[in-house]
Amino acid sequence: MTAAPTTTVPTITLNDGATIPQLGFGVYQVDPTDTKRATLAALEVGYRHIDTAEMYGNEQGVGEAVRDSGLDRADVFVTSKLNNGFHDRTDAASAFERTLDTLGFDYLDLFLIHWPLPAVGDFVETWKAMEEMHASGRVKTIGVSNFQPHQLQRLFDATGTVPAVNQIEVHPYLTQDDVRAFNTKHGIVTEAWSPIAQGKVLGDPVITAIAARVGKSAAQVTLRWHLQRGDVVFPKSVTRSRVEENFDLFDFELTTDDLARISALNRDERTGPNPDEFNWIP
C-alpha cells in the first residue's frame, strides 16, 4: 500500500474510554470478492475505521485488507455485528468467536448486536454475553444497533450497563431526533447508517443549493451535516473517486442555518426496516 495522507479525521471518546474515528468506511453490499480491494483502497485514501457485519458475508476481505495494508492492527478501528439468529448467551458467544476467526483477528474494536429482533430470542440475555466478551478483553467496546429508546431502557433496567454506541439509520429524510436525544442523554454515541440514504438525498434542492454555494458535492454536504451534529458516519462506495470524495470533508464548514435547513428536510422516511417490526433471520 502506498503511504496514506495524514488523517484529519476527529475522534470521539466513548463511555468506556475508547476512542473511535468519526468517519469510517462501510462495507454493506460490497461483494465479498471485491471487499479486500475496496477496503485496501479506503485504507490507502486514509480511512482508519471499517464497519462490517457477519450478515454482510465479507468480514474475511476486511481482515485480509487490514493485514495486507501494512498498517498496525492498532491503527485501524474495526466494527462487526452479531448476526440475527444468535440471540442467546451461548450462540452469541460462538458467533463472536466465528467473527474473530473470519476476520483473522485476535481482538475486535467494536461488536454490536445488529438488530433487537423483539420477537426472536432475548436481547437482554444476548447483551449479558456481550458483557462477558468485553470482560475477556477480546472486544474493546460493545454496543447495539437499531435499538429504540424503550429497548435501551429495558437493557439498562435489566443489566445496569449502558452500551457505548447505538448504530441507527440517520440521514436528512430521517433525522431521528428522539432516538439521538435519548442516546445523548445516556452517554451513548450515535452512529448514522445509510448517511446519504443510499443516494436518495443527493438530488434534494436544499442540499444541492448549499453544495453549490460551498463548492462541495451533495454527498460531502450531507456527510458534513452528520459530522457537525456529532454522529459517527461510514459511507459506502466501491468507486475510488467517491471513496476519496467522501473522505474530503475537513476543509469547509456548514453554518447553523445550513444545518437547520438540512434537518428540516426530515420526513421520517426509512430506507431500511423499522426495528420495532423487524424479526428477520438470514
| Interacting residues with ligand NAD between 76 and 115 (CB under 6 A) | 114
How many binding residues for ligand NAD (CB under 6 A)? 26
Q: Look-up: residue for cell 433471520?
A: 281
190 part of the interface to ligand NAD, by CB under 6 A = no
173 a catalytic residue? no
Q: Does 145 bind ligand NAD (CB under 6 A)?
A: yes
Q: Which residue has the cell 475496496?
A: 38
How far is it, in rounded angstroms, from Cα 2 to Cα 54?
29
Would you say 83 or 194 has its CB closer to ligand NAD? 194
Give the range of 34-42, 130-138, 153-161, 196-204 binding ligand NAD by CB under 6 A. Answer: 196-204
Instruction: Work out whether 273 is an interface residue with ligand NAD (CB under 6 A).
Output: no
Examine residue 176 and tell whether it contacts ligand NAD (CB under 6 A): no
Contact residue for ligand NAD among 80, 141, 190, 194 (CB under 6 A): 194
120 contacts ligand NAD (rule: CB under 6 A): no
**235 part of the interface to ligand NAD, by CB under 6 A:** yes
Give the Å distances, CA to CA, from 133 to 81, 96, 151, 161, 220.
13, 8, 21, 14, 37
Residues forming beta bridges with residue 20, ordered by sequence position:
12
Q: Which helix (H) or strand (E) holds 149?
A: helix 149-159
Asked if 208 is part of the footprint of ligand NAD (rule: CB under 6 A), the reply reads no
CA distances from 243 to 37, 80, 199, 263 (A): 12, 20, 14, 24
First to last CA, the chain: 35
Chosen residue from 234, 249, 254, 258 binding ligand NAD by CB under 6 A? 234
Tell me which of 28, 47, 56, 173 is the catalytic residue.
Answer: 56
Candidates 29, 30, 27, 24; CA nearest to 11 is 24
Q: Kindly list the residues in this chain that would bind ligand NAD in the complex (CB under 6 A).
A: 26-29, 51, 114, 145-146, 167, 193-199, 202, 219, 234-237, 242, 245-246, 272
Catalytic residues: 56
